[in-house]
Amino acid sequence: MPFSGAWGSASTIARMLASNVVSAELEAAGKLEGLGKKQAKQFVNDGVNSRAQELAEAIADHVRESGRFATVEAVNGYINISYDALSVARRLLHEVLRQDDTYGHAPEATHPGRIMIEHSQLNTHKAAHVGHLRNVCLGVAVTNIARAAGYTIMPTTYIGDIGRHVIQCLWCYREFHQGEEPHRKGSRGRWLGDIYAESSARLTFRKSVLAFLDRVIQENIVFVEAIDRMLKKLWADHNESEDIAYLLGCVSNQKAIDPAVFVDDTVMVKFWPIIGEQLTQERDAPPPEPDDTAGTVTPEGEDQPETMSPEERVEEWARLNATMADWWPQSATWEQEIKDTFQLWEQKDPEFVALWEKTREWSMIELREIFDEFGATFDEWFCESGVEDAGRKIVRDLLEEGIAEISEGLPVVKIDEKLGLETETYRTMPILRSDGTTLYSTKDLALTRMKFVDYGVDTAVWVVDVRQSLYFDQISKILEISGFAQAANTIHLGYEFVALPTGTISSRKGNAPMLEDVRGLMLDRAARVIEQKNPQMDRAAREKVAWQVGIGAIKYTMLARDSNKVIVFDPEEALSFDGHAAPYIQYAHARACRILEHAGWDTAAANAAVETIDLPEPAPEELSLLQTISDFPAVVQRAGAEYRPLYLTNYVYDLSKTFNDFYHACPVLRSDEPVKTARLTLVAATRVTLRNGLALLGINAPEEM
């Protein structure tokens, strides 16, 4: 246990002893007899403080006599032992500088077993968003750290190259963009992402229209009355009066509209301009507030559901209006078309498979770019398309073994039943769709079995959104039931989602900040700041540093929060270059580099000097910096064992702060020998430790910025 003001550690032994001694004495003296447990404790407690101090003093005297420590003091019942700073400092600095890039790393295979970490499960045919970014950052950091801590790590990824999103994208491509090429800007992978987004917009179009109408009808009485009148206009030139009557009924009774009831489906297209007219009118000439406040008192402080402003209503109406005439009539059959497209894949239609292969590669190029940029490397790339067949086989096996059964027309495993659990715990997992197409679970069962059988993995880690925790428990239990002991060693490293300040992320709704956008935003901002702070830096260096700082800031933001906490990704805050963030740490590193540069020191010079350093009277700031540097390997061990990069983000921040304290209090270049050399080696060791710490987080340490 550390204590402030000196380099050493504190022992709580005197306190523990004191409580034993005091209670034994009191008992012997018979003072505890007849007292309640509570009172007895109170008695003991009263005696402990003073007694601990007495004991601490006695022990301290004894330890002091051994002469092995610089100082031994008894304070508040704790024994504070501080080391002989000079000899320990020499040893530490020597080790740090000698080990250089590997300081803090444990020897390979320090811990037994082979651990496979699967992360960064990106999708082809679809744009990645900030949630994926958290995954990549976490996966990379956990891999680096666990490896440095001496575990045998196999990083892998699992690409979603088939599944509903791919089918949707390709359906949209074939129907509406066949033969097109991307516009000037952007890669083909990104363009496919746009097509996927379009397919989602198309498929949810009816729902969006109805939800919007429903909302406006519920929220706005004036609107309802006006529409009621205006519908009569429509009556005149529409020949299906039943539809008009139906719409009229829905609106005036504030009921949801069901398009299945329409005789003529295009009535919605005709109805839409009328709505727009009314909404525009309301926006431009707001009706007076209804004077019924006496009747409906809104309780203060209670959260009202957010109502849309007139501007927002017109905006949303216009967004839907842009495609209304084109999409509404067609959209009724699109769901069926998706199902048909699914069948093309299932039947391995050659033309369709060829298209899939071609477009898949477009996306893969982009994925490799993302992985390169964020420092993700993999021993193996798994793909969903590669485990579908193995998935069907495992389903057959499970059925044969009686582990799975057909229920409600599809194969499922009733896990609780198989485990003999009375209370519902793992529930029932479907493992294949009733139409024979594969589910995510089909493929994950097969893949996880492959990890055990073909890769000899002892521990399988999934870095996946925390909402899938029941799902992974189910996968794990099913494999355990079918005889895989390793299934007990599967770890779901879940993390919470990344949200915008205004609401939840959902790529389907198109309001998610895309990985690409966040990246661009951060790089621009970093470039601007560097230009402002360091205008004399040459262009090439500036671009490189802007990249290091921008990406570093993203990574630090993603890692400096516990996995089970939601990150509210406020671009403004993430872009802040002050305080508890990557640039502060990178800056400390750059300053350390600059000091060494001024002194003309390189690694060799530091190594040569460390043998003979002398620190006659170490300052508290020096001691605390030494102590922090010496903590590094233990931090790596803890972060590795628990898969928690957070310990390291905290550590590098702490080290930077300690270093800032040090150089603020202790001049390096301006001090006299031998202090100057001693301090320079301290700076050199700080630089090494900071660089190594950042490297484990996947963050670059620029030498100037």
Partner RNA sequence: GCGCCUGUAGCUCAGGGGAUAGAGCGUUGGGUUGCGGACUCAAAGGCCGUAGGUUCGAAUCCUACCAGGCGUACCA
Interaction residues for RNA, span 350-389 (CB under 7 A)? 384
To RNA, the closest distance from the beta carbon of 593 in angstroms equals 7
Locate 271 and state its tokens: 């109805």
Any contact of residue 398 with RNA (CB under 7 A)?
Answer: no
Q: Which stretch binds RNA (CB under 7 A): 139-147, 218-226, 407-415, 608-616?
A: 407-415
Question: Of the candidates 257, 635, 678, 684, which one interacts with RNA according to CB under 7 A?
Answer: 635
Minimum CB distance to RNA smaller for 102 or for 425? 425
Minimum CB distance to RNA smaller for 317 or for 653? 653
To RNA, the closest distance from the beta carbon of 389 in angstroms equals 16
Q: Give me the helices (H) in 116-184, please.
A: 130-148, 164-176
| Residue 411 parent element (H or E) | strand 410-414
By C-alpha distance, which of 637, 627, 634 is closest to 685?
Answer: 627
Strand 410-414 and strand 428-430: the pairing is antiparallel
Q: Is the peptide bond before 674 cis (omega within 30 degrees of 0)?
A: yes
Which residues 192-251 are close enough to bind RNA by CB under 7 A? none
Q: Which stretch binds RNA (CB under 7 A): 266-274, 279-287, 602-610, 657-665?
A: 657-665
Question: Of the candidates 434, 506, 511, 612, which one interacts with RNA according to CB under 7 A?
Answer: 434
Any contact of residue 600 with RNA (CB under 7 A)?
Answer: no
Number of residues binding to RNA, judged by CB under 7 A: 98
Any contact of residue 646 with RNA (CB under 7 A)?
Answer: yes
Question: Of the candidates 370, 668, 678, 697, which one interacts with RNA according to CB under 7 A?
Answer: 668
Minimum CB distance to RNA smaller for 366 or for 621? 621
Instruction: Identify the three-state secondary structure at position 69.
Output: coil
Q: What does the buried/exposed string (b/e) look like for 294-314 if buried means 16 or more CB atoms within 10 Å of the residue's CB?
A: eeeeeeeeeeeeeebebeebb
Which residues 511-540 are close enough to bind RNA by CB under 7 A? 529-530, 533-534
Cα gap 564→587, rounded to integer Å = 29
Any contact of residue 64 with RNA (CB under 7 A)?
Answer: no
To RNA, the closest distance from the beta carbon of 202 in angstroms equals 17
Which residues 548-587 are close enough to bind RNA by CB under 7 A? 549, 560-562, 564-568, 576-581, 583-584, 587
By C-alpha distance, which of 653, 692, 701, 656 is closest to 548?
Answer: 701
Which residues 162-191 are close enough to bind RNA by CB under 7 A? 163-165
Any contact of residue 57 with RNA (CB under 7 A)?
Answer: no
Q: Token pair 């007694």 is at which residue?
A: 51
Contact 166, 551 (CB under 8 A): no
Minimum CB distance to RNA smaller for 222 or for 466? 466
Which residues 605-634 are close enough to bind RNA by CB under 7 A? 634
Which residues 487-516 are close enough to bind RNA by CB under 7 A? 496, 504
Q: Which stretch binds RNA (CB under 7 A): 160-168, 218-226, 256-264, 314-322?
A: 160-168
Minimum CB distance to RNA smaller for 217 or for 546? 546
Cα gap 673→43, rounded to integer Å = 57
Any contact of residue 21 with RNA (CB under 7 A)?
Answer: no
Q: DSSP secondary-structure letter at 608? A: H
Question: Of the candidates 6, 21, 32, 48, which one interacts with RNA according to CB under 7 A?
Answer: 48
Task: Please provide the size of the chain in residues.
Answer: 705
Q: Give me the helices (H) in 285-379, please.
A: 310-331, 334-346, 350-374
Minimum CB distance to RNA smaller for 220 or for 442? 442
* 639 Cβ neighbours under 8 A, 6+ residues apart: 145, 149, 645, 646, 647, 648, 696
Cα gap 224→642, rounded to integer Å = 58
Amino acid at 383: C
Any contact of residue 471 with RNA (CB under 7 A)?
Answer: yes
Cα of first residue to Cα of last residue in the chain, in angstroms, is 36
Contact 55, 17 (CB under 8 A): yes
Question: Of the candidates 12, 110, 241, 347, which one interacts with RNA according to CB under 7 A?
Answer: 12
